Each structure stands twice: as structure tokens, then as C-alpha cells.
Amino acid sequence: MNTYKALDKQEYTLDEYSLVPIRMQDRYDIMQWRNEQIYHLRQAEPLTKEKQDWYFENVVAKLFEQEKPNQILFSFLRDEKCIGYGGLVHINWIDQHAEISFIMDSALEEANFLINWSVYLELIKQVAFDSMRFHKIYTYAFDLRPHLYVVLEKANFKKEAVLNEHCFFNGHFERVVIHSFLNNRLHLELASLSDDVITYNWASDPKVRAFSLNQSKIKFESHKHWFASKLADKNCLYFIAKNGRSSVGSFRIDIDEDGVGLISYLLGSAHHSKGLGTRLLEQGVQKAREHSAIRTIKGQVLKYNEPSLKVFRKLGFKEESVSEDLFEYKLNVG
């Protein structure tokens, strides 16, 4: 099987379905499907075996060797049989977005359109967001198949634009409809010294500091020294929360000799009220579970910090009132 340098994972699965790097053996099936469905594709004329061979040998083969190819193509399999193909095309590595491309076996269009498109969209999200950490994916479609829009909207794609008379095809201009999906897959990465500025900006933001246990003002030099010491401390795990490739907050665990991890997390004020707090704490709990030295985690929250109180309660932490204005939350993870 060919492998893409641009991806950290090559196969993406959901039940009996999978995406694998596009296979040479599927090229003539793909050619047939494209020719049968040329009415909705940006394809000027029917493909021939000679043209398809040339394309696979001179274009597709090179994609596997490139660090940042302009397209990444897959065979779409069900129980190891190819029933479609697609991928991410017109990839913009700077702005972190790409167009979705997909067609299926023409014989499956009528009876299996909904299930095949739905599964494919979930798999291509794994590629774009879990492996590539992209910000956005979108579809760009001639306005010929309104049943496709139903599938996209069920998958939480939003209609972003309608471009009237935008493409000249078959002797007349076609309208184009664009649907898009923004990355909402939060993940944690280990912090580095270069994160000292952004963590300082978050910590010193009045909207964030209002919910901090220590509300006194901090200076950058003090924060920089403290931050470096935390990164050097073997009993401290310090993560930056990323939404796609954007840094949105932080999560820290300070571990004592009894295996208790004191957790502290925050979101930049620009990312408040977006439902990210629950996902951030969920990711932090998972990091704690993966660490052999941690048996219990706890967090302390001011009683007027309603958003954080709701997050801890939602995730099953045991609540205890430790003072007039402070709750403590505990969860066994070891």
C-alpha cells in the first residue's frame, strides 16, 4: 500500500468502511464512475484508459512523496471492496482548508447515497482534522443534486455561499453551492517555552483572571520564570489546548507524592461560551488516566464560576464545599 508523507495515519475506518491511500488497482473502476457521472463533475470529456494510466503514473504517484501535496486521494472501501473514491483537493496548507471530493459506484447512487456519503464525510473529517489539523473543509458542487445538501446538513455542514451562473458547463452556466464544516476537534499538546507569551496573555486577561484563585496582577518576567520552572518540573504536566492549529487555552496537572494531581485549566476569553470547556476538561482527564503516577485528580473552583462548576459536575467529579467561596472537585482516574 502506498503511504502519504503528509499524513501520520494511512487508514481511516468506521465499522465495515475504510479510506486507504488511492490504489492503482481501482483506477479503471474510478474512470468508469467518473465517465458515468460526468454531468456533475468538473471534467471536460470522458476519460480513456490511456489518460487514466497517465494520470495515475504521473500525477497520483507523486502525491505520496510530497510533504504538502495539493490533493490527497483515497479509495473508499466497504469490506475491502472499493465502492468509491475521493479525498481532499485544492489543499491550502497556509490557510488550513481544503475542498472535499467524492464519487461512489454509480450502481449505489440511488439506494445507498445517504449512507455512503454520511460515512465518507465522517472519515474525511478524521483525515482533515485528526491527522492534518486543518481548520475547514468544504464542498463545491454544481446545483444539480439537492439530495446531497440534505446529507451535508445532517453532518452539520453549513451552507456558506451560492454562486449564481458561476461555471460554464455543457453549453450554459451552472450555479454553484458551497457547504463548509469548521474544525471543532479539541486536542492537547505539550507546552513549550515558546508558549510563554500566549499563556501570559490568557492569564493576565481580566475576563480570565476574574475566575482565577489568585487575582493579583502578574508581570511578564515573573510569569516567564514561573512558566519555565513548570515545564522543567517532572511532576508537572502542562498542555496547550488546540482547536485545529489554533491555541485556545491550557491544562496543567501538578502531581504530589501521593499520586494526587491538582488540575488547573483555562480558555482564552475569545473562546468562551463555545462549548469548549467540557471538551478541554475531558481531554485533560484522559491525559491524567494515561499517566501511571496519577491516582486521583482534583480541581478548585470559585463558587461564582458557574461555567466551570457545570463542567466538573457534568463529568462526574465529586463536589465538596471547602470554604465560603470555594468548591473542590475530585475524580479517581488510577
Cell numbers for 71, please give them: 490533493
pLDDT of residue 178: 95
- Using CA atoms, how far residue 14 sits from 37, 104, 121, 195, in Å, is 26, 17, 11, 36
pLDDT of residue 256: 96
Q: The whole model's pTM is what?
A: 0.68
> pLDDT band at residue 215, thresholds of 50, 70 and 90?
confident
Do 159 and 26 lie in one domain? The reply is yes
pLDDT of residue 165: 87
Taking the C-alpha atoms of residue 59 and residue 1, their distance in angstroms, rounded to an integer, is: 17
In the predicted structure, residue 32 carries a pLDDT above the cut 80: yes
Q: Pick from 156, 182, 208: which residue ends a domain?
A: 182
Burial of 100 (0-12, 13-18, 19+ CB in 10 A): buried
pLDDT of residue 40: 75
* Cα 161 versus chain centre, distance: 22
Cα dihedral value 307, 310, 316, 320, nearest 10: 90
In the predicted structure, residue 50 carries a pLDDT above the cut 90: yes
Q: What angle is formed at CA 105 by the lines to CA 102 and CA 108, rounded to 5 degrees?
A: 110
Of residues 210 and 83, more confidence is placed in 83
* DSSP symbol at 5: T
Do 37 and 105 lie in one domain? The reply is yes
Instruction: Please report whether residue 124 resides in a domain.
Output: yes
pLDDT of residue 194: 96
What is the share, in percent, of the chain residues with pLDDT greater than 90?
Answer: 79
- Rounded to the nearest 5°, which phi and psi values hold at 255? -100, 130
Q: What is the CATH number of the domain that holds 196?
A: 3.40.630.30
Q: Which residues contact 123 (CB under 8 A, 6 or more apart)?
A: 12, 13, 14, 17, 18, 19, 76
pLDDT of residue 168: 76
Which amino acid type is present at position 127?
Answer: V
Do 99 and 70 lie in one domain? The reply is yes
In the predicted structure, residue 290 carries a pLDDT above the cut 80: yes
Instruction: Please report whether residue 3 resides in a domain.
Output: no
Tell me the average pLDDT of the chain.
Answer: 93
Mean pLDDT value across residues 74-87: 97
Instruction: Please report whether residue 4 resides in a domain.
Output: no
